[in-house]
Amino acid sequence: MRNAFLRAALGALLLATLLPASPDAQTIADRYRATTDRIIAAALSDSAAYDRVALLTDKFGHRLSGSASLEQALDWIVDEMRRDGLANVRGEPVLVPRWVRGSESAELVEPRRVKLHMLGLGGSVATPPDGITAPVLVVTSFDELTARGDEARGKIVLFDVPFTNYGATVQYRSRGPVEAAKLGAVAVLIRSVASNSMQNPHTGATRYDTAVTRIPAAALGVEDAAMLHRMHARGERVVVTLKMEATTHPDAMSRNVVAELVGREKPEEIVVLGGHIDSWDVGQGAMDDAGGSVAAWEVLRVLKRLGLQPRRTIRVVLWTNEENGLRGATAYRDAHAAEIPRHMLAMESDGGVFAPEGFSVAGTADAVAMVTGLATLLESIGATRIAAGGAGADVGPLTAAGVPGLGLDVDGTRYFWYHHSEADTMDKLDPREVAQCVAAMAVMAYVVAEMPETIPRRAPR
């Protein structure tokens, strides 16, 4: 709170210094308040967004890159967008990786036989058909692995690392297999990257290094990892059999789905917003990120319903392959390279469509200050907290090219309870909160597409 205040104050000061001719952002906001109040009321007037997320995720389930369910969902979305009367509805081709989980299991065989709750990590190689049976070495950090390096050879290394924050803890999912393989480990298990657990393991992408042997890797339920750790700490011999049939196939064709509300005066200038339509191959991918995808899509429907056609084009993109490749985001950047200087804003929702709290701004201090002013329009839904930060993975290639970025920030209390697990399902979302997310994005998209001013850009990286 205090930081946000300081940032806002500093931003206002910079605006006053550097942009003396421009009305301040609060004044800009005030111009549109009557309209944005109508937008908010319209977004909150029904549960259309929630119902559409439910229909999509119930109808097609999870949607991993390369799967039939993803492509069927995309077909349906294109049809629905056309039925909504949106403009320039199309799929833009993207080649995506195709990793297929196959059958998989992990069993504790010593000191007693127990079927473990596991999910192979995305991109993992398979085990031999009979599996890998080996003693387990439990460590709680890369440092401990290094210290016990001579014990790792021939073992299954279990990283039982308590969740602190995603950025820190996910390192064990990403780098664990490489670091363990360097020391001669035969497979890797990780405690699921999760802030709460009911024996629901959490998958997610892992990485290999061409110079290091690729060893199979899987996540265990937090509970099972803790049990193996307790057994290990008692000095018991802990032996696990890991079986995974995971396969990587040739790249498959997918699409970014694009739809527009064409601008009335400057149609060539673009406010882009979206979420990623692919998901991991578990649960319904409802929170991550059907919710963000549909919320962005609903922004166009709400504006259209109100008969609002802003000065610039608002473009929705449902990016494909965020989870295990980011190919949709890079394909969009490449296909639209010439247009990037005319992208005035890139907005993303990929933190779950829970109660919105504000936005992270990928941009200059001036940009933060301007967004802080515009966000006063969101007071009625409590989404006014603006901070400098990343805007999201799919808009990353755009913000790196200088486009101001906004990432929707929400109440993240339970996000890592469900993330990448069977528990990422529709019932975790609330119709009112989803509608509030639509409202927050709709207001920002509308105002930035309508105002004569633009959000300051930064130099391309």
Residues that bind a second copy (CB under 8 A): 54-55, 58-61, 111-112, 114, 117, 196-200, 221-223, 226-227, 230-231, 234, 283-284, 417-418, 421-423, 425-427
Q: Pick the closer one to a second copy by CB: 297 or 417.
A: 417
- Name which of 180 and 194 has its Cβ closer to a second copy: 194
Minimum separation from the CB atom of position 145 to a second copy (A): 22
Closest approach, Cβ 199 to a second copy, in A, equals 4
The distance of closest approach from Cβ of residue 111 to a second copy in the complex, given in angstroms and rounded to an integer, is 7
Report the residue number, 372 or 425, with the smaller CB distance to a second copy: 425
Min dist. Cβ of residue 249 to a second copy (A): 21
317 Cβ contact list (under 8 Å, min separation 6): 256, 257, 258, 272, 273, 274, 296, 332, 394
**Measured between alpha carbons, how far is 45 from 138 in angstroms, rounded to an integer?**
52
The CB-of-64 to a second copy minimum distance in angstroms stands at 14
Nearest residue (CB) to a second copy, 59 versus 153: 59
Of 58 and 379, which has the nearer Cβ to a second copy?
58
Task: Give the list of residues 6+ apart from residue 147 with CB closer than 8 angstroms, or none.
Answer: none
- Asked if 327 and 364 count as a contact pair (C-beta separation under 8 A), the reply is no
Catalytic residue among 104, 269, 322, 348: 322
Does the annotation count 322 as an active-site position? yes
* Residues with catalytic function: 322
